[in-house]
Structure 1
Amino acid sequence: MLASLAQRFIALTLLATVGTAVSAQTLSSDQRVLKIERMAHGLDIPWAFDFLPDGSVLITEKDGDLLHLAAGRLTRVKGTSKVLDQGQGGLLDVLIPRNFDRTRRIYLSYSKRLGRGSATAVATGQLARRNTQLEGLRDIFVAAPPADSGRHFGSRLAEGPDGTLYVTLGDRGDRPSAQSLTSHQGSILRLNPDGSVPRDNPFTKQKGAQPEIWSYGHRNPQGLTFAADGQLWSVEHGARGGDEVNLIEKGANYGWPVIAYGRHYSGLKIGEGTTKPGLKQPAHYWDPSMAPSNLLVYSGSMWPDWRGDIFVGSLKFGYIARLSGQPLAEVEQIRGDETGRIRDLREAPDGSIWFLSETNGALYRLSR
């Protein structure tokens, strides 16, 4: 087994080196041509990535591997947590906070076995100087209660303007839990960097409530990002129809499963309809579902006319959705052979847009 693992990483290194040498192709988009480059391939169910200050990249794979990509070479980072790679669970998101240069600290979210069940967990540790080892990795949060389902773990991470950590959690297939403040399931959380609870969270003084909860009534949010203006945006999976883009507000209830756009997979109606007083409406929804992954709110640095537009990856239909306007609407679908089952997408420091394709096991860069 160790030999096969070593052979795999030798192969990954060779593939990544070759991949970066391939000449760039193009994709058509909104009366312009986008240059697309494959930055790495040979990835095994990649789930997330983030940029280090030196321009290199950390990539998670669902089976538990954390990879470092630099100058076209992939190497494994040792010292990650033991993950439960089952169903929709595994090693999930990675976050490089803004103070990384000072602390060398990173964050990972993953599915953790707890007895006969499992839960979404967030861990933090320090990346060694050569980017080959995580040191002092420890859990700072584990969702409660554990569930015996392999579904709806979430779990995207985002750093707030004040340095707090936001975490998305799915309902784990237990729909009513998303309306219960006694459970972490079906919520977006806000934590201090050490995992403690910020004093100004909305439910810290409510008896029986989980104090980490920032918003609730979510089904399975797998995208989360802050815009330049400080607004927090999320995307979440509906059932059969009803995938949503939501502007997240402190203490707000987003309705699942009381209201929803779409139906259960059986075809039956969900809850009480599409609206109810006191429950938030989505900024945009898809019907049929497009299975959203992560999202970004574009800065405009490389394409000024896209400033403020929202880009969302589609797992189901293999395209990047661009949303714009008031009310928010999907105005474009960017697609090609490279866009199969997009799991993550992010804006790079230079304004280019990078994305991970599960179908191709590859990381791509879009630029002018």
Structure 2
Amino acid sequence: MRPRSVLILSGLIAGTALAVLPILANGRTVGARDYSPTQPFAVQAVADFDTPWAIAALPDGRMLVTEHAGHLFVVTPEGEKTEISGVPEVHQQGQLGMHDVAPAPDFAQSGLIYLTYAAPGEDGSQIVLARARLDGASLSDVEELWRQPQGGGGGHPGAIIAFDPAGEHLFLTLGERTLSDTAQDPAQARGKVLRLMLDGSTPADNPFADEVGVAAQLWTLGNRNPYGLAFAPDGQLWLHEMGPRGGDELNLIAPGLNYGWPVVSNGSNYSGSAIPDHDERPEFEAPRLSWTPVIAPAGMVFYTGDLFPDWQGSALIGGLAARGLVRVTVDGDQADEAERWDMDARIRDVAMAPDGAVWLIEDDAPGQLLRLTPRD
């Protein structure tokens, strides 16, 4: 007999409404929240960048920073910036451009980093996952590991990287590129989370591994615009994605599940017309937490450092519309917003350094790289 998940995927390809059964009912919905009256951190502006998009900490405390137009930098905690040469050609338009950067799990030994970006193509831009070696101030051995099979579409690139705790697999988010119906098409990468080996190949134990092409690489379906992906200390994978008018989501990610976009959403269409809520279609997995009004979440890290002991195990999420930093507590499969701090700027990404400091990058030109340490 074929595995149930593969039979379900075959049904989806055939156009039925079948989906893997959800793991839980609808989660918590957060309305408008006030900013916390005090900030337990001091903010140090370290460096400025031109429309930065992503940040990642290196083991020695330096930060990798991408700029949307196609630039990559290494910056020291003191603010010394070095631009890295050898970056692949990037197609920059609207929300598309250079996206995520992540050091390999064995970076200290290999010097490898991973990049995502929109690359030019004959049928429109395609999201690409690449790997390269960081040699001083340049990239060498640049290797394209995965390319979105279907080009074109609008914004909503996703393109966020996460490694599992064992450092054996790479997870990659793909937005639906504003072509909403493609999020339910297993033959297309849009609106999905993929699970790959570190070399870009397909793991044999993926939920739909018996299928071909993109379908074999799928971990989840029905994701709209996912800009945050991270493993919690307990090993569970969490993802946030932007909703339309309302309905930003924080989802607990499990293999083979369908999260419903565009069939369901806790928000409404931009025109104001209604979309069925998750609780009206229980065959789709519901978010553990949703926001209406939206915070426009971007970037996410689970805090495991020592500088902020009260934050241990919390998810720290940047807010573009919220213009702040949001702390979410996670207890098993449940989540709730605990605090929200006004940063007076659109926060594009969040990272934690080896010393426990929290780093933020502003979505602006110039956008500041900020270091947060305890106020006392």
- Asked if structure 2 preserves the Cα contact closer than 8 Å seen for 1:257 and 1:271, the reply is no
Question: What residue in structure 1 maps to residue 221 of structure 2?
Answer: 216
Question: What residue in structure 2 maps to residue 47 of structure 1?
Answer: 53
Which structure has more relative contact order (CA 8 Å, sep 6+)? It is 2
Question: What residue in structure 1 maps to residue 243 of structure 2?
Answer: 238
- Asked if structure 1 preserves the Cα contact closer than 8 Å seen for 2:50 and 2:67, the reply is yes
Aligned residues: 335
2:160 to 147, 156, 159: 156
Measured against aligned partners, the alpha-carbon deviations of 1:301-320 in whole angstroms (never above 9, x if no partner) come to 22222222222111112011
Query: Identity of counterpart residues, as a percentage?
Result: 38
Q: Secondary structure at the match of 2:183?
A: helix
1:291 to 296, 303, 307: 296
> What is the Cα deviation at residue 274 of structure 1?
4.4
1:122 to 129, 140, 146: 129
Question: What residue in structure 2 maps to residue 33 of structure 1?
Answer: 40
- How has the CA–CA distance of structure 1 residues 134 and 300 changed in structure 2, closer, same or farther, with 3 Å as cutoff? closer
1:225-304 correspondence to structure 2 within 5 Å: 225-271=230-276, 274-299=279-304, 301-304=306-309
- Asked if structure 1 preserves the Cα contact closer than 8 Å seen for 2:294 and 2:322, the reply is no
Question: What residue in structure 2 maps to residue 367 of structure 1?
Answer: 373
The letter of the residue matching 2:204 is R
Query: Partners of 1:180 and 1:289 in 2: how far apart?
Result: 26
> What is the Cα deviation at residue 31 of structure 1?
5.7
1:157-236 correspondence to structure 2 within 5 Å: 157-163=161-167, 164-206=169-211, 210-236=215-241
The letter of the residue matching 2:50 is D
Residue ranges of structure 1 left out of the alignment (5+ in a row): 1-27
2:83 to 71, 76, 84: 76
Measured against aligned partners, the alpha-carbon deviations of 1:234-271 in whole angstroms (never above 9, x if no partner) come to 11010010110011101111111111001110001125
> What is the Cα deviation at residue 30 of structure 1?
6.9
Measured against aligned partners, the alpha-carbon deviations of 1:67-87 in whole angstroms (never above 9, x if no partner) come to 111242111100001000011
Query: Partners of 1:40 and 1:165 in 2: how far apart?
Result: 30
Query: Partners of 2:67 and 2:214 in 1: how far apart?
Result: 33
Question: What residue in structure 2 maps to residue 335 of structure 1?
Answer: 342
1:101 to 93, 102, 108: 108
Question: What residue in structure 1 maps to residue 361 of structure 2?
Answer: 356
1:136-147 correspondence to structure 2 within 5 Å: 136-147=141-152
Query: Partners of 1:198 and 1:336 in 2: how far apart?
Result: 41
The letter of the residue matching 1:67 is F
Structure 1 residue 135 corresponds to structure 2 residue 122: no
- How has the CA–CA distance of structure 1 residues 291 and 31 changed in structure 2, closer, same or farther, with 3 Å as cutoff? closer
- Asked if structure 1 preserves the Cα contact closer than 8 Å seen for 2:115 and 2:131, the reply is yes
Query: Partners of 2:230 and 2:213 in 1: how far apart?
Result: 29
The letter of the residue matching 1:335 is D
Measured against aligned partners, the alpha-carbon deviations of 1:198-232 in whole angstroms (never above 9, x if no partner) come to 11111111367621111111001010111121111
**TM-score with structure 2 setting the length:** 0.85
Query: Partners of 2:75 and 2:55 in 1: how far apart?
Result: 10
CA RMSD of aligned residues (A): 1.8
Query: Partners of 1:344 and 1:32 in 2: how far apart?
Result: 19
- Asked if structure 1 preserves the Cα contact closer than 8 Å seen for 2:278 and 2:284, the reply is no
2:327 to 322, 326, 351: 322
- Asked if structure 1 preserves the Cα contact closer than 8 Å seen for 2:46 and 2:370, the reply is yes
> What is the Cα deviation at residue 278 of structure 1?
2.5
Query: Partners of 1:32 and 1:297 in 2: how far apart?
Result: 19
Q: Secondary structure at the match of 1:183?
A: coil
- How has the CA–CA distance of structure 1 residues 35 and 209 changed in structure 2, closer, same or farther, with 3 Å as cutoff? closer
Query: Partners of 2:188 and 2:39 in 1: how far apart?
Result: 47
Query: Partners of 2:84 and 2:214 in 1: how far apart?
Result: 37
Question: What residue in structure 2 maps to residue 24 of structure 1?
Answer: none
Q: Secondary structure at the match of 1:155?
A: strand
> What is the Cα deviation at residue 336 of structure 1?
3.3
Question: What residue in structure 1 maps to residue 29 of structure 2?
Answer: none
Deviates more, 1:350-359 or 1:90-99: 350-359
Query: Partners of 1:73 and 1:121 in 2: how far apart?
Result: 29
Deviates more, 1:350-359 or 1:193-202: 350-359
> What is the Cα deviation at residue 300 of structure 1?
5.1
Query: Partners of 1:166 and 1:241 in 2: how far apart?
Result: 26
Query: Partners of 1:116 and 1:145 in 2: how far apart?
Result: 8
- How has the CA–CA distance of structure 1 residues 44 and 32 changed in structure 2, closer, same or farther, with 3 Å as cutoff? closer
- Which runs of 4 or more aligned residues in structure 1 lie more than 4 Å from their structure 2 counterparts after TM superposition? 28-32, 271-274
